Structure 1
Amino acid sequence: MVNRKLELRALLFGCAATICTMPAAVSAQQADGVSPASDNHEIIVTATRRSESLKDVAMAINVATGEMLEKLAIFDAKDIQQLSPALEMTNTTGRNNTTTLRGIAFDPDQGTSPSVQIYFNEVPVDAQVAYTAIYDMQQVEVLRGPQGLLRGLSAPAGAITFTARRPSFDVVEGYAQATVTDLAGYNVQGGVSLPFSESVALRLAVLVDGNRLNHVRNVNRGGERSYGSTQSFRATVGLRPTDASEAYFTYQYLVADRNQYQQVIGAGNTPVYLEDFSGKNPDLLSGPALTANDYTAVSDGLFRNRLNSHLINANINYDFGGATLSFVGAHQYSTQTVQRDMDMANAVPGYISTSDVFIPMRINSGEVRLASNNDEGLAWNLGAFYRKQSGVTVVDEAADNFFAPVTVYGSYPYLPINAYIEVPVSDRTWSFNAGLRFKSGPLKIEGGLRYSLIHNVYTATVTASSPGIPGVPTAPPFNFTSPGVPAHLQLVKEKPFTGGINISYGVTPDINIYAAYGHSFRAGSAGVGSQPGWSDDLVQTKPEKTDSWEIGVKGSSFGRRLNFGLTGFYQKIDGYLSRFDQIYYNCPELNGACVPVGTPNATPPSSTPVSFFPFNYNADATIKGVELELNGRPTNNWDFGLNAAYIKARFNNANVPCNTLVAGVPVIQGTNNVSFCRRNGRLSDTPDFSLTANTEIRAPMGSVTPYLRALLNYRPSFTATRSDYRYRHRELLNLFVGVRSEDAGWDINVFVRNVLGQARVTNIGDNNMVENTLAGPFESGYRTVNVMAPREFGLTAAVKF
């Protein structure tokens, strides 16, 4: 087995070093699609809020141009992970998009700011909106490492900036592209620039998309398949009233309707059946035995997620000669409506645990920035940033209380309970920053500080009601309301300093070395839906602080036909904000309900759990790693490249909530509401090593050019500590064969995604899904999973004008 693994890795590296590779992460592509490895073109990025050559920026960055996104049929923003190592972009439940970078994970349900901030046209946006539709892009940049200075919101792992194409003031130009696949997928998109004068221009873009999402079918709903459709429209007006000023105003409308069933694997199970005391009833089986290759769900209810979003964005610049005054701002109003069966693994067959969630998001943000224009000597910048998010999330769901994991005469004994929860969102951030830059010949030193005022209020109103059980005096009707967050933990106010400094030196005109330090910060949060009797540390998390040190070298050789970059870094996180799901807890009890400590006649907490809950908690962590990038153009008709990363992201002797079992039964050990364990394992279910590579080989034949294109994404096998699961190695290979005109005015290709047909698990739940009862849990026999999309054939036709 070891020899086979070594042979596979050797084959992959050999392939990546020759014909199986091309400019990884598309970082060898410029906006016009011409490789910087020829004709002395350079990669221009805006990672530092200035247009600079990639090799001059003291930061590890991956770049994907809009042209390459179209070439590689990347219609889902999450597929950008195929272009950047150690980047994982997932949607594990169909309703929450998560981003993991450099092993630093994030769960949107933990209520904190993300570990990777997302920006659209330089304004922060919600990941759910940014990831739902990607089209007519100018460039996508993945900024690796802590962010605490350049943009208004701090993040410990990095940032991803999406920049839409702007209108041309010179000529009418645009594109149209259509794709269909054998798995009922389609994508039609296009954009056109209309210059009305030298000072007024308009760009219009549109997207219509449909696909099977995670390709899962539900055997308990007549074989229904997951499916989603998305439509979006974008209009950008460009104004250049004077030679010194320009402004761009963008409006984007997006609507998506997705029914995504949760895939599960396992043997399934059936509850105890008491009608004639004959044992279990096979008719109540939660579902058949399932593996990853089955792409199957077993829930009795649907999972529908509808998103409606409006985004207005402004980007204005005025050049005073010595300095430029800039403003970027946005108003986003989105609504997300989710209908789902919370019993995703069908632990209680024939029963639908209904949940209806309405999430409105009103986000206003703006930034004013004044920066000097000089490149040599001493330069400076000043800025102020503001962001506010508001809205009231409403949850209406079943919270039925089952008495035992049994059925009696075909029905379940339980007390019907409805939970109605209102969660007002009130997050506000002000920040002020200042920076200096000194450049003298090959030497450049730059740095700065950002001072933030963070004001978040965490409140909730929880109403529980029940009609009771007729004829049962001990189960009367009730209706009561309680706060979801204790009053003394509702307000989070922080005043952190973040920022950094770096120094770079041009050893030669084509080679730069650099060293950088960065500091970031994330405010803690309060867990909504907490129970009376819990200790404060289980309800409210403390703030997280990050320090990172990085060194690197970037450059090119052979007349810029070969570009390279090597980065090494060490990062220390104090109080890393993490989430621990399905943790069993106890509390003082009175009449079967949790009550505050000291309540008269209450039963003290025991070692027997009351139920389980997802807890947020702080834990120290360290991340260290090395990242390598190679890309180039050995000949005019062959591009190649490779990105690889080896990163160890681990808890550092962290004392965190966990589950302890005695003879297979969960118990609470110690004097806390939950058990605690020491951990030094992975921060996320991601491997230490990852690799991405792609290539294009062309064979010009007069007025047409046939080509072969490939994209490879490799993840080795590894064992996840938290889920105790051995992930298998993954080799995701996509191939494209096509022909285009000499001037790239038209292009037709056929492609195969997942050529090897692998069905590897990419994410798995920590344990089998269960439904708790007063006398033990219903056991589903399944774990929730996400799996690589199956092999898919497609055809794309595109024109440019």
Structure 2
Amino acid sequence: MTSKAIFLSGAGALTLIMAGPALAQTAAPAAAPEGIQIEEVVVTATKRSENIQNVPSTVTAVTGETLQKLNILSFQDVQKLTPGLDLDNGGGRAQKISLRGISFDPDTAASPAVQVYWNETPIGASTAFRAMYDVGQVEVLRGPQGTLRGQTSPAGAVTIVSRRPEFNSYGASIFQTVGSNSLFNTQASINVPLIEGKLALRVAGLYNHDRDGVENAYNGRKNGDTTHSVRASLGWRPTDDIEVFLVHQELNDRLVSQPIVVGAPITAAGQIGPSLNVDDRKSVVDGPADYYHKSSLTSLSATWSFAGHRLSYIGGYQRTTDTSARDQDVTNVIKGFSDVQSVFATAHQLTQELRLESTDRHFWNYLIGGYYGKSDAYAAFNQNYNIFFGPYQPPGFSLALSGISKPAEGKDLAFFTDHRFALTSRDDLELGLRWQRHESTAQNLLAVAGPPAPVLPPEFVTRKSTAWTGSASYKHRFTDDLMAYASYGRGFRPGGTTQFVTAAALAPQYRVYQDETSDSFELGVKSQWLDRRLQVNGDIFHQKIDGYISRVNGVNSRGAAVAGEPAGPGPGGSYPYDAATGGINLNTNGDAVITGAEVQVTGVITEGWQATISASYVDAHYDNALLYCNDNNNDGVPDAGGAFVQPGRQVSVCASNSKLANDTGLAPGKFNLSLNSEYVRNVGAVDLFARGLARYTPRSYLPNVDQHFSAYATVDLYLGVRSADRAWEASLFAQNLFDKSEQLSVGTVYVNGVAGGYRTARVNAERKVGISFRYNFDR
């Protein structure tokens, strides 16, 4: 479907929705009983608490109650409820979030395309993926966040709000889940009003142990994930006009994540092992695949309401440490050889935000604020620089290779303002503007059998950038239940330098990537029908990104290249690459265009039966972008593998109009769908319930091997009973009920320029069955 077709079909759907009032006037339904109306959802997407139906942008809200109902025990599973959102834990080392077709590779070390906020303070994806417990609400904000959020991400934001203390009631709860693959998840909380109505404490904890069904075919080692976490939240309300919340969380996680492989060994090369497919869920890596994460998060929020205004402060501090040891020969190209890389990384981040907003003005409400962020990070790795004398043979000898990122510092300063004008009783105009300055300092040191030496010349160590971003929206309420809007958003991500490039002779300009800006336009409708038993929301959008930041892995380089040199001896006049260096990884910029449409329909079918269906269609592709690539025959078209570089260039460059791809090169499909439903029937003192969740994932494409991966759908089912007052609940569940195993991607690992018979495979989660029990001790 073309961009024009998307807009025409989307506009047609929006027109039908908006035409509804004229049709509905002929036969207005009788008022529905309160119990079978759709409940109001309050969100803070605009830094103000308001009904989601009044927000002139696309927001998906998942309440803490919904997370528990559907046994959402991990951050990654939130994607089941939000089409177009892709959450990938990256095998433990490179967690990434994609939204509206805009992907992100954390190895770029750039600002994320989708920023995660924990209690309104920005956190890294690595921390967000580790635990999900005692959550009040998760919100997915789609489109550039260019005015009110701490970091101006181009694709959107995900906000996680932990449950706050209750000032007037004691309470405690336990939520226990036991299931297949050694699943054992315990969540508990206690709430104590220390001074009734004034001071309250809430403490929550998590223990989780789980496996994903992957086992090593050689040594029998199994993948597994173990998490411990505790969180304390203190609420203070000295007067009716002042509220303060202090939250602190400690988390430890240990993960064993051996990648799944498919294929068969090349016996002629001395490889051994069984023939494997995705259903086997086997790994063949010889060495470790261990990841450790420790984090401390603190947030402080305070509000003071006075004289028709509200003064708000949000502060956050986080400290994270990640260590890993992983064998990079994950497909066992060389029998008995382990190419282990050890990594240690630690980071600290302090953020502060202060804003003042009016609250009671009729025509004009305004907001002004400032944001400051400071971060520092340190990273080091150790591995061997291997010298090979033949294919499929262990190295003849190895040198110690290490890299250090000198404490990298980043500083962000921003001032923003937002203004709402009630033009009429049914028309609102909102304008926002933000100025920001970013400064970063980073230097890498590399050492090969000797003392470490700096990689970047002094003029590339420090980078500064400033940008103006903002937003605008206009909304019109045709009735109290029908609103249409048009909105604009501008996003920005600062450029920087690619970290740990092992090609010593590579010119500095290849290591630098530029700033990214994006502009997005959206038209949408939000509506409620049948006396608010039916809710229909939809939007169409178009976004243009200048200098989209992405990454290419394993590209060939040639340090001796000279501009204007004659044709070389290779195919098409190319030159042989530097074999001793091997493939390198570089950040790159290229223009991109994204067009799409989204719709969500929620309905109360009968009393006790509610369903929601959500869908998204996104076309995201480069727009005549010039990207680093492997081009082995000098034809300007990317090639897989090979050992040559275009003449006159240290790294080849290719023009691209291809789909935006993730860090593995996989271009996801365009259409995504999610359906969830719940039916509850009261039987005396208990309620019986059935819940279902289905997700459709479209066909995807991996261009470097010209391989398509099939579309598939998974179904989760929950059956149970609860007390009529909801004090307790017990349920049986089956996630991926039909045990659908689908290969989502494939990768080839090269050692000394050759590949083995196995290839890595990304596979969806296998079926998981179990029981859950929840009890609330509230009074």
Q: Secondary structure at the match of 2:129?
A: helix
2:307 to 305, 317, 321: 321
Residue 257, structure 1, aligned to residue 229, structure 2: no
CA distance in 1, matches of 2:361, 2:505: 60
CA distance in 2, matches of 1:174, 1:727: 46
Q: Secondary structure at the match of 1:397?
A: strand
- Contact kept? 2:631, 2:646, Cα under 8 Å: yes
CA distance in 2, matches of 1:606, 1:568: 45
Match of 1:228 in 2: 225
Match of 2:91 in 1: 93
Q: Deviations over 1:138-163 (max 9, x none)?
A: 00000011111111200110000000
State the shift of 1:423 in Å. Answer: 4.0
Taking the TM superposition and a 5 Å limit, the aligned residue runs for 1:261-660 are: 261-269=258-266, 280=268, 282=270, 284-285=271-272, 287-374=273-360, 376-407=362-393, 412-439=395-422, 440-465=424-449, 479-530=450-501, 531-588=503-560, 607-610=575-578, 611-660=582-631
State the shift of 1:780 in Å. Answer: 2.2
Match of 1:795 in 2: 771
Task: Tell me the amino acid that sits aligned with residue 207 of structure 2.
Answer: V
1:725 to 707, 710, 714: 707
State the shift of 1:40 in Å. Answer: 6.6
Identity %: 32
- Contact kept? 2:386, 2:395, Cα under 8 Å: no
Q: Secondary structure at the match of 1:446?
A: strand
2:643 to 646, 658, 666: 666
Q: Secondary structure at the match of 1:68?
A: helix
Change (3 A) 1:36 1:228: farther
CA distance in 1, matches of 2:397, 2:755: 16
State the shift of 1:170 in Å. Answer: 1.3
- When structure 1 is superposed on structure 2, of 545-554 and 415-424 the one drifting more is 415-424
- Contact kept? 1:485, 1:529, Cα under 8 Å: no
- Contact kept? 2:404, 2:444, Cα under 8 Å: yes
2:744 to 750, 753, 762: 762
CA distance in 2, matches of 1:63, 1:779: 45
Q: Secondary structure at the match of 2:279?
A: helix
Match of 1:246 in 2: 243
Indicate the RMSD between aligned Cα atoms, in angstroms: 2.1
Q: Deviations over 1:725-766 (max 9, x none)?
A: 21111211100111111111111110111112111123433x
Q: How many corresponding residue pairs?
A: 722
- Contact kept? 1:179, 1:794, Cα under 8 Å: yes
Task: Tell me the amino acid that sits aligned with residue 795 of structure 1.
Answer: I
Match of 2:22 in 1: none
State the shift of 1:781 in Å. Answer: 2.7
CA distance in 2, matches of 1:649, 1:174: 47
Q: Secondary structure at the match of 1:588?
A: coil
State the shift of 1:39 in Å. Answer: 4.6
State the shift of 1:364 in Å. Answer: 0.6
- When structure 1 is superposed on structure 2, of 375-384 and 104-113 the one drifting more is 375-384
- When structure 1 is superposed on structure 2, of 723-732 and 547-556 the one drifting more is 723-732
CA distance in 1, matches of 2:38, 2:767: 39
State the shift of 1:536 in Å. Answer: 4.1
State the shift of 1:69 in Å. Answer: 0.5
- Contact kept? 1:423, 1:460, Cα under 8 Å: yes
Taking the TM superposition and a 5 Å limit, the aligned residue runs for 1:690-709 are: 690-709=672-691
- Contact kept? 1:194, 1:201, Cα under 8 Å: yes
CA distance in 1, matches of 2:269, 2:55: 65
- Contact kept? 2:269, 2:392, Cα under 8 Å: no
State the shift of 1:441 in Å. Answer: 1.4
CA distance in 2, matches of 1:669, 1:483: 28
Task: Tell me the amino acid that sits aligned with residue 415 of structure 2.
Answer: F
Match of 2:137 in 1: 139
CA distance in 2, matches of 1:365, 1:229: 29
CA distance in 1, matches of 2:484, 2:34: 19
Task: Tell me the amino acid that sits aligned with residue 706 of structure 1.
Answer: L
CA distance in 1, matches of 2:229, 2:491: 34
State the shift of 1:314 in Å. Answer: 0.2
Task: Tell me the amino acid that sits aligned with residue 547 of structure 1.
Answer: D
Taking the TM superposition and a 5 Å limit, the aligned residue runs for 1:174-185 are: 174-185=172-183
Q: Secondary structure at the match of 2:469?
A: strand
Q: Secondary structure at the match of 2:545?
A: strand
State the shift of 1:661 in Å. Answer: 4.2
- Contact kept? 1:37, 1:559, Cα under 8 Å: no
Q: Deviations over 1:363-408 (max 9, x none)?
A: 111101111112531011111111111131111222222232143x
- What TM-score does the superposition give when structure 2 sets the normalisation length? 0.90
State the shift of 1:678 in Å. Answer: 2.1
Match of 1:30 in 2: none
Residue 778, structure 1, aligned to residue 761, structure 2: no
Q: Deviations over 1:552-596 (max 9, x none)?
A: 00010111111110100000000000111111221129xxxxxx9
CA distance in 1, matches of 2:612, 2:269: 58
- When structure 1 is superposed on structure 2, of 656-665 and 388-397 the one drifting more is 656-665
Change (3 A) 1:37 1:98: farther
- Contact kept? 1:37, 1:561, Cα under 8 Å: no
Task: Tell me the amino acid that sits aligned with residue 371 of structure 1.
Answer: E
Task: Tell me the amino acid that sits aligned with residue 709 of structure 1.
Answer: R
Change (3 A) 1:442 1:723: farther
Task: Tell me the amino acid that sits aligned with residue 302 of structure 1.
Answer: P
CA distance in 2, matches of 1:321, 1:264: 64
- When structure 1 is superposed on structure 2, of 648-657 and 115-124 the one drifting more is 648-657
Task: Tell me the amino acid that sits aligned with residue 122 of structure 1.
Answer: E
Task: Tell me the amino acid that sits aligned with residue 578 of structure 1.
Answer: S
Runs of 4+ in structure 1 displaced over 6 angstroms? Answer: 603-606
CA distance in 2, matches of 1:108, 1:721: 21
Match of 2:190 in 1: 192
Task: Tell me the amino acid that sits aligned with residue 672 of structure 1.
Answer: R
Q: Deviations over 1:418-475 (max 9, x none)?
A: 324334221111111111111241111111111111001121111111xxxxxxxxxx
- Contact kept? 2:36, 2:608, Cα under 8 Å: no
Change (3 A) 1:597 1:551: closer
State the shift of 1:537 in Å. Answer: 4.2
CA distance in 2, matches of 1:697, 1:154: 40
Q: Deviations over 1:161-191 (max 9, x none)?
A: 0000001111112421100112111111022
Task: Tell me the amino acid that sits aligned with residue 630 of structure 2.
Answer: N
Residue 676, structure 1, aligned to residue 648, structure 2: no
CA distance in 2, matches of 1:495, 1:281: 55
Q: Secondary structure at the match of 1:231?
A: strand
CA distance in 2, matches of 1:498, 1:551: 20
CA distance in 2, matches of 1:759, 1:674: 38
CA distance in 2, matches of 1:686, 1:77: 20
- Contact kept? 1:682, 1:720, Cα under 8 Å: no
Change (3 A) 1:406 1:195: closer
Change (3 A) 1:49 1:123: same
Q: Deviations over 1:6-30 (max 9, x none)?
A: xxxxxxxxxxxxxxxxxxxxxxxxx
Q: Secondary structure at the match of 2:79?
A: helix
Q: Secondary structure at the match of 1:171?
A: coil
- Contact kept? 1:575, 1:619, Cα under 8 Å: yes
CA distance in 2, matches of 1:250, 1:332: 12
State the shift of 1:484 in Å. Answer: 2.7
- Contact kept? 1:739, 1:748, Cα under 8 Å: yes
